[in-house]
Structure formats: structure tokens, C-alpha cells
Homo-oligomer: A and B are copies of this chain.
Amino acid sequence: MAITTRATHACCGGTLGFYSHQSDSLGLEARFAVFVPDGASATAPVPVIHLLAGLTCTEETFLIKANAVRFAAEYRIALVATDTSPRGAGIAGEDDSYDFGSGAGFYLDATQAPWAGHYRMGTYIAEELPALTEASFPLDGTRRGIMGHSMGGHGALVHALRAPDRWKSVSAFAPIVHPAAVPWGEKAFTGYLGPDRATWAAHDATLLLQAGRTHPTTILVDQGDADQFLDAQLQPWHLEEAAKAAGQKLILRRHADYDHSYWFIQSFIQDHLTHHAAILCR
């Protein structure tokens, strides 16, 4: 599990590093970033939150724009940020769309040619990246949370509902809560998973809740009411209804005037770190 250090920076009383490695899941080089607060060590590992960004983003985006590091440092929580897709798979058309292919891996394992070989962000997020980072940094894998924005909010919700033992806390900003029912999700699922909608249910937070999958903690979701994707792609009311029916504790906050940008995320990021810290820190 060799890791190449691309850059490290002192930040907010800790170290933020940008790394690459050869990913077994993806069969490609992959990039990720890790923030570790000072004082963490093998004998005193810290909780960790994985950050999943949205369409077109990279492992840098959430860290640069969300202002999460300051609050992670205050709570003594590590951060791991992943890329949004495999890179350089060399598949024809991979770079043609902002919402499919590179930059748009949807945090799942593709089953359809030509994507099935490399587009395996599901396994990468669920298994490889936690194992890699927890073997290489002083992170406590028993206190691991997940957070995301937009497509990454979808990823955070789905991964947490599918494996609550793996992800002890979960929150999202403006998530795609019901991808099987909106254009972004239909395009991605058709391409990566094929036309049989029965296979989509395992990758849709609303359908997972409807199937009885719940998370033992409260899910925190923030959504801007001026979000340009609210009605067409995000539709948070599906999550609200499914959570209510499933008995899933959910705090869904709607914010007048806020849009889909990281200006929205940075406005409420402190609350998300607090939410995760309340579960992960002890």
C-alpha cells in the first residue's frame, strides 16, 4: 500500500496532505487528501470523517472551499477527501459530460461495459480508501463518519445506510436523495448499472429507506431553497417522507436564499462537524 506524497501543508494546527496511490479497486492511480490534527498518533488515533464532493469536483474541492479544516482541528477529527471518479481510464466518451464518466463516478461500482472495469468508486470508498488511510495515518476506524455534497451527499447517505457499522455518523449538503427518479441519477444509473431499475435500489437513499435500511444515528441534511437544482435533481422531500415512514431520525434544514455552491456549505459546515463530533468523539 505505497502512498506517494504530492504535497503537505501545515493548516489550523494540523497537517493537510495530498497523496496518490495505485488503487486496486480502480486499477488506476488515485488521489486523495488527509487532514490530521496535531497530537494524533498510533496510540492516540483520532476519529475521521470522509468527505465526498459533487459532480466535476476532485479530492481538493471540499477541502479548499468548505472551510471544514478549522472545525475538524477544533474537534480533533481527521478528514479524508476522495476524488469523484477514476481518472485516466481511457474509456471513449469518458470526459464528454460533466454528469457522467470522469468527475461523476456516483460512488458506486459500475456493472456495465465499458465502465465496469475501472469505475468502482463504491468499493474504493467503502473498503480500499478506509483501509489504506487507517493503515497509514493515526485514524480510528471504529469512529468513522461520512459527509458529502450533491452527488457526494448521495454517496454519503447510500454508504451510511448500506453499512451503518462502517460509517458511524452521516450528514449531507444538498444531496441527490432519490437518484433513481431524477435526470442526473437516471443517466448515471443507466450507464453504470444498466436499464434494470431493480439494480438501482441499492444505490438510492430513498429506496434504501423504503426497503427498511436505516442508520442508528440522526442524519443531518442542509438544503438551500435557492438551490438551482432543488426541484429537478435534489427533491429532499423524498428523503423526508421515506425517513418518516422508516422511523429514521432525520434533521432536514431548509435555508432561504442559499444556493448549491460551497458558499452555502461553508455557511453551515461548523454544524456538520459538531454533528459528527457529537457521535464520534469521546
Contacts and interface: CB of A to CB of B under 8 A. Distances in A.
A184 to B, nearest CB: 22
Interface in A250-282: 255, 257-259, 261-264, 266-267, 270
B263 A16 contact: yes
Interface residues of A, number: 24
Contacts of A111: none
Nearest to A67: B67
B266 A70 contact: yes
A266 B9 contact: no
Contacts of A267: 10-13, 70
Contacts of A262: 64
Contact of A10 (B9, B13, B259): B259
Nearest to A12: B267
A10 B70 contact: no
Contacts of A264: 9-11
B67 A10 contact: no
Interface in A66-122: 67, 69-70
A65 interface: yes
A224 interface: yes
Contact of A261 (B9, B65, B259): B9
Contacts of A135: none
Q: Which of A64, A67, A263 has the most CB of B within 10 A?
A: A263
Contact of A11 (B13, B16, B263): B263
Contacts of A16: 263
A3 interface: no
A11 B265 CA distance: 9
Interface in A1-30: 9-13, 16
A255 B12 CA distance: 11
A245 interface: no
A42 interface: no
Given A12-B267, A13-B267, 18 more contacts: A9-B259, A9-B261, A9-B263, A10-B224, A10-B226, A10-B257, A10-B264, A10-B267, A11-B263, A11-B267, A12-B263, A12-B266, A64-B262, A67-B70, A67-B266, A69-B266, A70-B266, A70-B270
